[in-house]
Amino acid sequence: MPSASEAIAERLASGGAVRIAGAGTKANWGRPVDGLDPLPTAALDRVVAHEPGDFTAVLEAGVRLADAQAEFARAGQMLALDPPGDGATIGGVVAAADAGPLRHRYGTPRDVVIGVALALPDGTVARSGGRVIKNVAGYDLPKLACGSFGTLGVITEVCVRLHPRPQRTATAILRHDDPDRLQEIALDLSHRPLEAEALDVRWEGGQGALLARFAGAAAAERARAVASEVDADDEGLWAAQRDGQRGELVVRVSALPADLARVLRAAREHDASAVGRAGVGTIWLSLPAGAGAPDVLALRDRLAPRPCVVSDAPAAVRAAIDPWDVPEGPALELMRRVKARFDPHGTCNPGLFAGGI
Amino acid sequence: MAAAELAPLVARLRAAVGDAHVVTHRHQLRTYESDGLLQYAVTPGAVVLPGSADEVRAVVRACFEAGVPFVARGAGSGLSGGALPVAGGVVIALSRMRRILEVDLPNQRVVVEPGVTNLEVSRAVAPTHFYPPDPSSQVVCTIGGNVAENAGGAHCLKYGFTTTYVTGAEAVLSDGTAVSLGGAEADRPGYDLLGTLVGSEGTLAVVTRVTLRVVPVPESIRTLVAFFATPQAAGEAVSAIVSAGVVPGAIEMMDNLAIRAAEPVAHAGFPLDAGAALLVELDGSRAEVERRFADVERFCAAAGAGEVRVARHEAERARFWKARKAAFAAMGRIAHAYLVQDGVIPRTRLPEVLARIQSLAGEYGLRVANVFHAGDGNLHPLVCYDAPEDAARAAELSARILDACLEAGGSITGEHGVGHDKKAHMPKQFAEADLAAFQKLRCAFDPHGLANPGKVMPTPRLCGEVPGRYRPHPLEEAGLAERF
C-alpha cells in the first residue's frame, strides 16, 4: 500500500489541476482561481518523530501546528513559529512562509525547516535536507518549499528544528503617538544587544507602541531595563499582535527597520491599523471597512519600492489587482522556469502565485 | 579543449576585462588548479579576473556563446574541491571585486562585492555590530565563496549559517543574464530563489553583489574549557547543557590527539593527558549569561570534568580559541599528512559514533583526531597518516566515517560542501527521486550545464527538453480574463 505521501504523488501524476488544502485558514490568500479539484492533506496527520535530545521533529503536513506545539511543550520545547490562526496545519504554515512575533529572533519557516518531502507532479516523492540542523548536502530545496504556496508540489512532510521553550516572559511597553519617535525608539532597541524574543510595533487609532518581549530567568529584570511599563502576564498582548496580521483587507509591507515611520504615516492616512516586526521591517496594515483595490494601489505607490503583498482580501480585490507585487523581470522569469521544471503542466495550485505561477 | 580552440573565447575575454586580467600561461594557470583540497588538481584553459559586475556578465556571456564551462572562484580556501577547474574551461576569479559598497547601519545591512573577505564585513561594522558566520578561514575566505558553500563556523547552533544572513544577491545566470534575488528587505514575495542560490556551490549562478545582515555585538561573553577523561564524558556534559535549554554561542570539543597537536602551538595550558577538552562560550545579555554560566559549570562538574577553567580576561579567551582553531593546522606536528572530514550526526548519537570512529581507526591501523562543533553534531575527524602509500587507505577510512554518520541519520557534509570530493557519496544520502528534484532546480537556473559542471551531482546529467516558458493553466487564463 502506498504511503499517504506516495498516494498524493500518484494523484498529482494522474493529471488534473488541484487546489491543495490544509486547514483552509489562508484560503483567501493569493490570486483567486476557481474550479480546481481540492486535494486535502488531512490524511497526513502523524507526528512521525520527536527527538527531544536532538531538538528536532518530523511532522506530516496535515498536523495542526497547535497540536504539535502541545507535544513539544511537554518536553519543554517549542517550534519557534507563532503565526496567527490556531487551526493552521504545519504544511500550510510552511507553504505560506507564515510567521508571527517570534520571527524577530528565530526567523520564518525557512530558518527552522531542516528537511522536506515534496510530492511532485511527476509522481515521485523527493526528500531534501535531512534531520540534522547543520547540513549542506545537495540543494536547499526546503528553502524553495517555504513560501512556494504549493505551486511546485505538495509538501507532505517536514523536519523542523526546535528551541527551548522559555518558562518566563515579560514585555516592555513603550508608547508613543509620533511615528518618527516610534522609529527612533525601535532603531535604538534593535541596535542594543538585548536578545529579545520579539520586538513588535502596534498602531491603532493614532496611537502606537513598541513591545519588546524577553524570555528566561532574568526576563522581568531585562524588560525593566528597557521601559518603566512592563507586563509580566503578556500572553494576551502577543495574541493581539498575531491577530493583527489577519483581517478583511490586509497588506503586508516588506520594509526595512528605518522605514517604520513612513509605513506608520501611511497607516495613519489610510485609517489603517498596523502590527509588525519593528526590528525586521515587515509590517501588516489592516485597512478599514470600505477600503478596496484603489487603497492597495495607493499604498504601493506610496511605499515603493517596498513590496506590498495583499494577504487577506475579498476575492474581488484579489481579482482586480495582483496580490503579489512581484515585478516582471529576470527574477520572475527565473521563478517561472523553476515552476516549469517542477510542475510543467500546471497541476499544483495553478494561477495562485506571483506572476500567474 | 585544446588551447587553439579556446583562442577566440580568450580574445573576447581580453576585450571584456583587459589583457592584464586574463591568464593563459601554463605555469600561471597552475596557481588555480586546486582549491583548499590539494589532492585534486585540474589545469583550466584560462583564468579571467573581472573587475565589475558588468565584466562578469560579459565574461559569462562569452563563455555561454562559446559553449565553454566556467567555475567561479573566491579565495580558493574551500575544502571539497568546489572550485576545482574544468579541464579546458574558464575560471572566473572574483578576487579583484573586493569593495564594500554600502554600510547601512540603521538597517543593519552591508552590501559587498563577492571578493570581500568574511572578516572584513565584521570589521566594517565594528565595534557595535558583527557578522556571525565565522568559518575558520575567515581571514582569507570571501563572501562569494561563503555564499556558494553556505559557510558555517563555530557559532552556528545559536546564530545560524550564511543563509541566515544573506538577504539579497545580484547574480549572473549561465547565459549572461543578470538577476536580482531577494533584496535589502527581509520578507520579499515570490519563491525563495536566494535560499537555493546560497549553498549551491557555484552551480547555479555567479554572484556579483551580496547584501548581508549584521547584528549587535553581545553585551557579555563568558568562556570556559572543561577537561574530561573521555570524549564520551564530555558528550554527557554537552547533552546536559543543551537539554537544560542553554543555547551556547559555541560549544566545541577536541579529543586527546587534537589537544596534543594543538597545545604546543597555542600554549593554552591544556593538559596533554586530558581525554577531551570542551570549550563552552555563552553570549548574550549579562543577566542571562551570568545565570546560565553557573549552570554550565555545574553540568561540566556533574559529568565528571577533572578541571574547569574559566577565561578571566580576553587574552585567556583568545588562547582557548587559538587551541581550538589551531587544531587542524597543528596536526602536522603529529602526522605527515591528514585528511579533514566533515560529517554531521544527530547530537545524541555522538557517543556511539565516536566509538565507531575509534573502532574503524583500529581496523585501519591509523590515528584519527576529533575536533568538532559539539552542539550541532558537526564532526571534523582528522584522519592521520605518514607514508604516502597510506593515502588511499586513509581516504577509505575517511569515507567509512561518513558512512557511519549516515547510518546514524546524519549528513555527508555540514559546512565544507559536496563539491568534487563527495559527489560519489550523494546517492548514499539521497534517493534517485531526490537527486532528480535537485536536477530540476539546476536545469531551471542553468539548462546548458555550464556553471561549475561536475560538482555536487554524482553523475553528469543533461537537462533534456527545456519545457519552455511556463504556460498558464486554462482555468487560470479564464480567471485572468475576468481580472482586468
Domain containing B17 — which CATH number? 3.30.43.10
Domains: count for chain B: 4
Cα gap A345→A188, rounded to integer Å: 50
Does residue B476 sit within a domain?
no
A12, A127, A139: best to mutate for the B interface, most B CBs within 10 A? A139
Q: In chain B, which residues have their Cβ closer than 8 Å to the Cβ of A217?
A: 288, 291
Provide the pLDDT for residue A325.
Answer: 96
Q: Residue B466 above 60 pLDDT?
A: no
Does residue B470 sit within a domain?
no
Q: In chain B, which residues have their Cβ closer than 8 Å to the Cβ of A147?
A: 190-192
Please give, rounded to a whole number of angstroms, the shortest distance from the CA of B225 to a CA of chain A. 23
* CATH 3.30.465.10, applies to A4-164: yes
Same domain, B119 and B203: yes
Same domain, B305 and B380: no
The domain spanning residue B163 has which CATH number?
3.30.465.10
B415, B440, B448: best to mutate for the A interface, most A CBs within 10 A? B440
Q: In chain A, which residues have their Cβ closer than 8 Å to the Cβ of B218?
A: 193, 195
Answer yes or no: are the C-beta atoms of A259 and B194 closer than 8 Å: no
C-alpha cell at A45: 496527520
Please give, rounded to a whole number of angstroms, the shortest distance from the CA of A216 to a CA of chain B. 7
Q: Residue B1 above 70 pLDDT?
A: no
Same domain, B223 and B212: no
Which residues, 6+ apart, have CB-to-CB distance to B86 below 8 Å? B42, B44, B69, B70, B71, B452, B453, B454
Does residue B480 sit within a domain?
no
Q: Residue B12 above 70 pLDDT?
A: yes
A134, A284, A317: best to mutate for the B interface, most B CBs within 10 A? A134
* DSSP 3-state of B373: strand
Residue of B nearest to A343 (CA): B470
A107 touches B: beta carbon within 8 Å: yes
B332: confidence class by pLDDT, cuts 50, 70, 90? confident
C-alpha cell at A200: 513588535
* Residue of A172, A74, A75, A155 lying closest to A120 (CA atoms): A155
Cα gap B406→B297, rounded to integer Å: 33
Q: Residue B124 above 50 pLDDT?
A: yes
Binary contact (B195, A335; C-beta < 8 A): no
Answer yes or no: are the C-beta atoms of A136 and B417 closer than 8 Å: yes
Cα gap A357→A337, rounded to integer Å: 10
A54 touches B: beta carbon within 8 Å: yes
Q: How many residues are there in chain B?
A: 484
Provide the pLDDT for residue B464.
Answer: 78
Please give, rounded to a whole number of angstroms, the shortest distance from the CA of A247 to a CA of chain B. 19
Same domain, B374 and B316: no
B4: confidence class by pLDDT, cuts 50, 70, 90? confident
Identity of the amino acid at B369: A
Of B152, B443, B476, nearest to A134 by CB-CB distance is B152
Chain B window 172-191: which residues touch A at a Cβ cutoff of 8 Å? Answer: 173, 177-181, 184-191
Please give, rounded to a whole number of angstroms, the shortest distance from the CA of B20 to a CA of chain A. 32
Please give, rounded to a whole number of angstroms, the shortest distance from the CA of A288 to a CA of chain B. 23
Of B108, B377, B476, nearest to A33 by CB-CB distance is B476
Binary contact (B409, A340; C-beta < 8 A): no
Does residue B126 sit within a domain?
yes
Print the domain residue range for B155: 100-216
Cα gap A139→B437, rounded to integer Å: 9
Same domain, B230 and B291: yes
> pLDDT averaged over chain B?
94
Q: What is the pLDDT of residues B372-393, one digit of tens each?
A: 999 999 999 999 999 999 999 9
Same domain, B131 and B51: no
Which residues, 6+ apart, have CB-to-CB distance to A310 below 8 Å? A249, A250, A251, A252, A296, A317, A318, A321, A323, A324, A325
Q: Residue B482 above 50 pLDDT?
A: no
The domain spanning residue B230 has which CATH number?
3.30.70.2190
Cα gap B134→B132, rounded to integer Å: 6
Q: Which of residues B296, B315, B330 is at a domain's end?
A: B330
Provide the pLDDT for residue B327.
Answer: 87
pTM, full prediction: 0.96
Provide the pLDDT for residue A15.
Answer: 86
Binary contact (A193, B218; C-beta < 8 A): yes
Pick from A225-229, A269-273, B465-469: least confident: B465-469
Q: Which of residues B296, B330, B364 is at a domain's end?
A: B330
Q: Which residue has the higher pLDDT, A137 or B476?
A: A137
Q: In chain A, which residues have their Cβ closer than 8 Å to the Cβ of B483?
A: 31, 319-320
Mark B147-171 as b/e (b = at least 16 C-beta within 10 Å): bbbbbbbbbbbbbbbbbbbbbbbbb
Q: In chain A, which residues have their Cβ closer than 8 Å to the Cβ of B164?
A: 107, 111
B2: confidence class by pLDDT, cuts 50, 70, 90? low
List the domain boundaries for chain A.
4-164, 169-313
Same domain, B152 and B250: no
ipTM over 0.85: yes
Q: Residue A1 above 70 pLDDT?
A: no
C-alpha cell at B304: 565528571
Does residue B389 sit within a domain?
yes
Of B192, B413, B433, nearest to A136 by CB-CB distance is B413
The CA–CA distances, whole Å, from B196 to A206, B182, B312 equal: 41, 11, 43
Chain A window 290-329: which residues touch B at a Cβ cutoff of 8 Å? Answer: 306-307, 309, 319-320, 324-326, 329
Q: What is the pLDDT of residues B260-282, one digit of tens each?
A: 999 999 999 999 999 999 999 99
Q: Residue A195 above 50 pLDDT?
A: yes
Q: Vertex A184, ends B105 and A302: CA angle to 5°? A: 85
Residue B54 class from Cβ within 10 Å (0-12 exposed, 13-18 middle, 19+ buried)? middle
Provide the pLDDT for residue B5.
Answer: 87
Binary contact (A143, B200; C-beta < 8 A): no
| E-state strands within B374-416 | 378-385
Same domain, B86 and B126: no
Q: Residue B467 above 70 pLDDT?
A: no
Q: Which of residues B330, B363, B393 is at a domain's end?
A: B330
Cα gap B154→A279, rounded to integer Å: 25
User: How many DSSP H helices and E strands does chain B contain?
Assistant: 17, 19
Q: Residue B474 above 50 pLDDT?
A: no
Same domain, B209 and B240: no
Q: What is the pLDDT of residues B209-248, one digit of tens each?
A: 999 999 999 999 999 999 999 999 999 999 999 999 999 9
Pick from B436-445, B450-459, B467-476: least confident: B467-476
